[in-house]
Amino acid sequence: MREVPVSPLGPVDAGRFAGLVSELRALCTLADVLAWGRAQRPPRSVAEVVTQDEFTHDVVVELEPRLALVFDVT
C-alpha cells in the first residue's frame, strides 16, 4: 500500500502532528478521507473544496478551530 506524505504548515504541536501522521498516511483516496472523518468523534466533514484546475482539488477538513487538514485530490 502506498503511504501518503503528511507535512505540517505553520505551528503544529509535535505530539499532535505525530499522531496525525500515523492516522492520515494510509488515507489514499477521497473515500478513505470521508470514511475517516465520519469515524472521528465528533465526526469531521469537508469544510470546503478548492478547485485548482479541472483535475485537481484541495479538500479542506476542519479538525479544530485553528487546525485544518488539506488533502490534495486528483
12/64 Cα distance (integer angstroms): 12
Place of cell 470521508: 34
Reported as a single tens digit per residue, the pLDDT across 1-42 is 677 788 888 888 899 899 888 888 888 889 999 999 999 999
C-alpha to C-alpha distance for 8 and 17, rounded to whole angstroms:
7
The whole model's pTM is what? 0.83
Question: Does residue 16 sit in helix, strand or coil?
Answer: helix
Residue 33, pLDDT score: 92
Average pLDDT score over residue span 45-68: 92
Q: Where are the domains of the chain?
A: 28-73
Band (64; pLDDT cuts 50, 70, 90): confident
- In angstroms, the CA 8 to CA 6 distance is 7
